[in-house]
Amino acid sequence: MSAREYLQQHKIQYTIEREEVVTYLMENLTHPTADEVYRGLKLMDSSVSRATVFNTLKTLAEHHAVSTLLIEEGVIRYDISTKPHAHFRCSRCGRIADVVVNSNASFCLPEGYSACNISYVIVGRCPECQEK
């Protein structure tokens, strides 16, 4: 699906900047921060401003067109992947990887609560950072 169609599908008004941001996310499934998206676009000769990237990502998140990952202190990472999956963060190098969830854990939600989203964050060591 094109970025343009993606915006349409999520009922978000089209602008060149939004298309650029969505395209970047689609081509870089690396859970980037807003600043990483900004710097990535700059390298590709985009003229978007940093504020617009931040605002655009916030808009996309509000429309559930991207999900926000709270996986690292101090920054918000964004993910345009639609399939539910868990995230792995290496405690040494900070690398973030996708992880397939085999089965859902069952939770004892107290009476009256309802869930709409469950996220899993696994912290550990990636292959390069294993203790010898």
Partner DNA sequence: TTCACTGCAAATCATTTGCAAGGCC
Partner DNA sequence: GGCCTTGCAAATGATTTGCAGTGAA
Q: Which of 86, 93, 94, 96 binds a copy of itself (CB under 8 A)?
A: 86
One character per residue 53-92, x = contact with DNA (rule: CB under 7 A): -xxx-xx-------------xxxx----------------
* Amino acid letter, 1: M
Size of the site for DNA (CB under 7 A): 25
One character per residue 43-82, x = contact with a copy of itself (rule: CB under 8 A): -------------------------x-xxxx--x------
Could you tell which of DNA, a copy of itself, none binds residue 13, using a CB distance below 5 to 8 A set by kind?
Answer: DNA
Query: Which residue, 74 or 110, is less far from DNA as judged by CB?
Result: 74
Residue length of the chain: 132
Query: Alpha-carbon distance 101 to 7, whole Å?
Result: 28
User: 32: closest CA among 13, 12, 56?
Assistant: 56
List b or e across 50-89, with b for residues whose CB sees 16 or more CB atoms inside 10 angstroms.
eebbbebbebbeeeebbbebebbeeeebbbbeeeeeebbb
Query: Alpha-carbon distance 42 to 57, whole Å?
Result: 16
How far apart are CB 57 and DNA at their closest, in Å?
7
- Interaction site with DNA (CB under 7 A): 12-18, 33-35, 47-52, 54-56, 58-59, 73-76
